[in-house]
Amino acid sequence: MTTEEIIPPWYKQFWPWFLIAIPVITVISGISMVLIASHKPDGMVVDDYYKTGLAINRTLKRDEVASKLNLSAKGNMDITAQSVQVFLTGQQQPLRLKLILTHPTASQQDIIIALQRQNKQGMYSGFFSQQPAGKRYLLLEPLDKSWRLTGSTYFGKDKDWQLKPIL
């Protein structure tokens, strides 16, 4: 007497379903990636990057002016009082300064803080409404944009930061 193996139909076996699942999962993940990419496109930090690239020489001249004036700055931020203190040293100390906290990837999270001189020793202070978090690039400049000081810090980890000309 011979025993024949009873072979179940294909839809009750493992391997056909495994082979069908691979392209189905690939199609579903591809469609979800397209939907995610189309609903939240990447934002550029600088909208007109070509003109910004052409203006690099003018920007470097601002660093040269800051270097000739021996300008440097140290700053700190009091999160509870939502205030910023900047100590500027050098040959020029204007009445007002502008501190820009630039987010590395999202321009809508940039913060601009107006600073007012408090004394003749170069202490400036200002207030902010949006609390910065994470890494930020810092830019300190007078209102006439004749010079600039730059730096970077990681808010939440660094207490103090220093700004200086690039050159």
Residues 151 and 115 placed together within one structural domain of the fold: yes
Residues 96 and 18 placed together within one structural domain of the fold: no
pTM for the full predicted model:
0.67
Q: What domain range is 144 assigned to? A: 49-163
Residues 120 and 66 placed together within one structural domain of the fold: yes
How many domains in the chain? 2
Residues 140 and 92 placed together within one structural domain of the fold: yes
- Residues 73 and 162 sit within 8 Å (Cβ to Cβ): yes
Residues 56 and 79 placed together within one structural domain of the fold: yes
The answer to the question of residue 105 being in a domain is yes
Residues 90 and 134 placed together within one structural domain of the fold: yes
Residues 125 and 66 placed together within one structural domain of the fold: yes
- Residues 137 and 45 sit within 8 Å (Cβ to Cβ): no
Q: Can you give the CATH number for the domain in which 115 is found?
A: 2.60.40
**pLDDT digit string, tens, across residues 63-74:** 899 999 999 999
Q: In what order do the strands lie in the sheet with 96-102?
A: 149-155, 134-142, 96-102, 111-117, 123-127, 83-89, 72-78, 160-163
Residues 32 and 53 placed together within one structural domain of the fold: no
pLDDT of 156 > 80? The answer is no
**pLDDT digit string, tens, across residues 13-67:** 999 999 999 999 999 999 999 998 888 766 656 666 666 666 666 678 888 999 9
Residues 29 and 89 placed together within one structural domain of the fold: no
**Spatial separation of the C-alpha atoms in residues 52 and 58, rounded to whole Å:** 10
The answer to the question of residue 44 being in a domain is no
Number of alpha helices (DSSP H) and beta strands (DSSP E) in the chain: 3, 8
Q: How many angstroms separate the Cα of 120 from the Cα of each of 26, 79, 91, 116, 134?
A: 66, 25, 12, 12, 32
Residues 31 and 54 placed together within one structural domain of the fold: no
The whole-number pLDDT of residue 2 equals 61
